[in-house]
């Protein structure tokens, strides 16, 4: 099978370029890991009580990882997804040995550069690619580093992070079809390409674009520029709607539960928002690269949508959103909760009408 990415080189590059974490003693590190595991369990109870959603499938325990392990976990997940796609698109035809050697190593180095950058920023993640139903990862050095920069109470900040990330785990384990739907849309995006060979080149170019932007804060290119076909834009709309819902729901839950269990939550939220909105030039370049700060808008727009729906039909009414792919919000409904309520609950908010 043609090798699109030299994954071993990607892992080595991520490990070499990833910045070191904050200074902690062995005893402190052990305490952080232990507390994050305990607070994950505590957060799970709060999230279940607040949302009414409970896991329907067994899931592995939280993994508290360092930056290198986070990068390795994501490389394993990407390998599971990208390998079969490349095989299908290439028809298992190998390129010339020079093309394969140079191309895969270049893409591997670029992918490693991107993961090295992200490994120093991500606080937690629900990783869905490498196995069913996925696994919750918490990046301990990043959590400690941010709580110190914000001068936050460690226990309060760690629980606050856990509330957000556990909500993501709950979304995928209380609603098991969400993972299959997400992976299906990724496959649909590939299928909508105008040609396998062209898509492989665009995938390679996209990784390179990310890598170049990390090196060049003045970059103005967006990965979304690589989306060329109308069919792919339709898939991207559905994926954007899903991710905006999931991010907004997590934000809504952490803001709803936080005041009840985290004494300093208002200070943490204010300080974290200032950090999120500011960013250094490099961070701003990456935000632009990902499409006019899409992630930031997902947090804000998604939280506003979820709040609007819950305000109108309550939490049980909101949870109908997880009934099937047909009840997920459409992209245009994210700014109009009334439209989603009318479509799913009916004009009176009582009779579901989907389709």
The pLDDT of 47-63, averaged and rounded, is 97
Q: What is the pLDDT of residues 67-98, one digit of tens each?
A: 999 999 999 988 887 776 666 665 555 555 55
Looking at the fold, whether 221 and 146 belong to one and the same domain comes out as no
Residue 69, Cβ density class (10 Å: 0-12 exposed, 13-18 middle, ≥19 buried): middle
Q: What is the pLDDT of residues 260-289, one digit of tens each?
A: 999 999 999 999 988 776 655 545 555 555
pLDDT band for position 224 (cuts 50, 70, 90): low
Looking at the fold, whether 24 and 118 belong to one and the same domain comes out as yes
The pLDDT of 294-323, averaged and rounded, is 89
Looking at the fold, whether 225 and 158 belong to one and the same domain comes out as no
Q: Is residue 212 part of a domain?
A: yes
The pLDDT of 130-152, averaged and rounded, is 95
Q: Is the pLDDT of residue 30 over 90?
A: yes
Q: Is residue 352 part of a domain?
A: no
Q: Is residue 186 part of a domain?
A: no
Looking at the fold, whether 221 and 339 belong to one and the same domain comes out as yes
Looking at the fold, whether 211 and 113 belong to one and the same domain comes out as no
In the chain, % helix, strand, coil (3-state, to 5) comes to 70, 5, 25
Looking at the fold, whether 103 and 241 belong to one and the same domain comes out as no
Q: Is the pLDDT of residue 351 over 50?
A: no
How many whole angstroms separate alpha carbon 86 and alpha carbon 113?
A: 21
Looking at the fold, whether 169 and 276 belong to one and the same domain comes out as no
The domain of 22 spans 1-174
The CATH code of the domain that includes 57 is 1.20.150.30
Q: Is residue 179 part of a domain?
A: no
Looking at the fold, whether 216 and 95 belong to one and the same domain comes out as no
pLDDT band for position 206 (cuts 50, 70, 90): low
Looking at the fold, whether 215 and 115 belong to one and the same domain comes out as no
DSSP E strands in 107-146: the ranges are: 124-127, 135-139
Quote the number of domains for the chain. 2
Tell me which of 105 and 33 has the higher pLDDT.
33
Looking at the fold, whether 119 and 227 belong to one and the same domain comes out as no
The strand order across the sheet containing 124-127 reads: 63-65, 135-139, 124-127
pTM: 0.84
How many whole angstroms separate alpha carbon 178 and alpha carbon 174?
A: 9
Looking at the fold, whether 108 and 228 belong to one and the same domain comes out as no
Q: Is residue 184 part of a domain?
A: no
Q: Is residue 31 part of a domain?
A: yes
Provide the pLDDT for residue 21. Answer: 87
Looking at the fold, whether 212 and 295 belong to one and the same domain comes out as yes
Rounded mean pLDDT of the chain?
A: 83
Of residues 182, 7, 179, the one with CA closest to residue 86: 7
């Amino acid at each position: 099978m043609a090798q699109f990415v030299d994954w071993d080189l990607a892992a080595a590059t991520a490990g070499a370029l990833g910045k070191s974490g904050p200074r902690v003693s062995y005893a402190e590190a052990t305490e952080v890991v232990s507390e994050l595991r305990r607070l994950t369990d505590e957060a799970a109870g709060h999230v279940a009580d607040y949302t009414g959603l409970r896991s329907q499938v067994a899931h592995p325990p939280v993994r508290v990882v360092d930056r290198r392990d986070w990068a390795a976990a994501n490389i394993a997940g990407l390998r599971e997804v990208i390998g079969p796609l490349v095989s299908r698109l290439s028809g298992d035809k190998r390129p010339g040995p020079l093309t394969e050697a140079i191309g895969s190593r270049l893409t591997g180095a670029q992918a490693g550069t991107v993961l090295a950058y992200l490994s120093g920023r991500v606080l937690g993640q629900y990783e869905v690619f490498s196995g069913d139903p996925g696994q919750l990862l918490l990046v301990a050095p990043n959590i400690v580093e941010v709580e110190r920069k914000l001068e936050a109470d460690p226990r309060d900040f760690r629980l606050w992070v856990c509330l957000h990330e556990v909500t993501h785990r709950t979304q995928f384990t209380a609603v098991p079809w969400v993972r299959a739907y997400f992976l299906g849309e990724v496959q649909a995006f590939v299928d909508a390409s105008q040609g396998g060979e062209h898509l492989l080149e665009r995938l390679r170019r996209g990784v390179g674009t990310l890598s170049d932007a990390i090196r060049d804060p003045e970059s103005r290119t967006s990965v979304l520029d690589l989306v060329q076909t109308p069919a792919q834009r339709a898939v991207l709309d559905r994926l954007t709607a899903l991710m905006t819902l999931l991010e907004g729901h997590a934000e809504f839950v952490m803001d709803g539960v936080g005041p009840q269990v985290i004494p300093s939550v208002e200070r943490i939220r204010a300080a974290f928002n200032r950090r999120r909105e500011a960013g250094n030039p490099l961070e701003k370049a990456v935000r632009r690269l990902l499409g006019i700060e899409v992630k930031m808008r997902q947090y804000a727009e998604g939280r506003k949508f979820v709040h609007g729906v819950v305000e109108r039909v309550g939490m049980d009414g909101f949870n109908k959103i997880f009934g099937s792919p047909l009840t997920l919000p459409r992209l245009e409904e994210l700014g109009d909760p009334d439209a989603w309520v009318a479509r799913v609950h009916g004009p009176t908010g009582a009779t579901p009408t989907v389709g």
